[in-house]
Structure 1
């Protein structure tokens, strides 16, 4: 059963008890990357290997995400600024221990395309934060794999 998390805004990205940041450059334009993130929500399951289902809810300001292993998220989009930033808050999840979670995908033009930076900001009890810190390496590998798959998907058109 999904349980509600504390509703937080984008300011949480700056002061969350746990912040993990990952970055990678892709050859696609910021506009193309933004469209893949914000407008092609079902496409996430095609390039982000941890995602088994992604679908917009209602008018598209909310999303349902399911991950391998059975974790589910109900999310609200906080910011969708064309070719610059896409951020969302988790409103409810079946993941144990989380109190608040915001993720931000920031897109910065680069010489060869786009620098894509993903920030994972969470509040949870100390043992859960420790587990998440220990999972940083795996999350980084998953991020790099997802971004590489996204780049291939965008290059293929």
Structure 2
């Protein structure tokens, strides 16, 4: 059963009880990475292995996400700043324990490519917080693999003229 989470604002990125921050480099320019994150939502399962379904919702103001293991989320887009930032809040989910969740992708030019930083900000009971902290290495690996896969996809697209 899906539960409604606490509706947090963008400042939760800085104030969350659990903040996991990961970074990676992509050879693709910020505009291409941003387009993949914010405009080509339905393509997320092609490059982020944990995502099995992603689609825009509410006329683009939100997203519907499904993850491996059956987790479902309805999200609200909180920030969409081309080539700089894409952030979304989870409004409802069937994931146990979580009380609030906000994710932010920050993009910055890095040479001819992009520095990508993903912040996973969450709140829940102590057991949830400990479990999420313990999951940090796996989440980091998933993020870095996703960025590499996305970068390869964007590179192939550039060379094919798409």
- Whether contact under 8 Å (1:26, 1:112) holds in the other structure is no
| Superposition TM-score, scaled by structure 1 size | 0.99
**For the residues of structure 2 that align with 1:147 and 1:120, how far apart are their CA atoms?**
15
**For the residues of structure 2 that align with 1:3 and 1:58, how far apart are their CA atoms?**
19
**For the residues of structure 2 that align with 1:112 and 1:124, how far apart are their CA atoms?**
39
**For the residues of structure 1 that align with 2:135 and 2:30, how far apart are their CA atoms?**
28
**For the residues of structure 1 that align with 2:35 and 2:89, how far apart are their CA atoms?**
19
Mapped pair 1:24 → 2:28? no
- Residues 49-60 of structure 1: pairs in structure 2 closer than 5 A: 49-60=49-60
SS in 2 for 1:70: coil
**For the residues of structure 2 that align with 1:28 and 1:55, how far apart are their CA atoms?**
23
Map of 1:141 onto structure 2: 141
| Superposition TM-score, scaled by structure 2 size | 0.96
- Residues 104-143 of structure 1: pairs in structure 2 closer than 5 A: 104-143=104-143
Map of 1:70 onto structure 2: 70
CA drift at 1:58:
2.1
Map of 1:14 onto structure 2: 14
Structure 2 alignment gaps of length 5 or more: 158-162
SS in 2 for 1:59: helix
Map of 1:95 onto structure 2: 95
- Whether contact under 8 Å (1:72, 1:94) holds in the other structure is yes
Structure 1 alignment gaps of length 5 or more: none
SS in 1 for 2:109: strand
CA drift at 1:11:
0.4
Map of 2:42 onto structure 1: 42
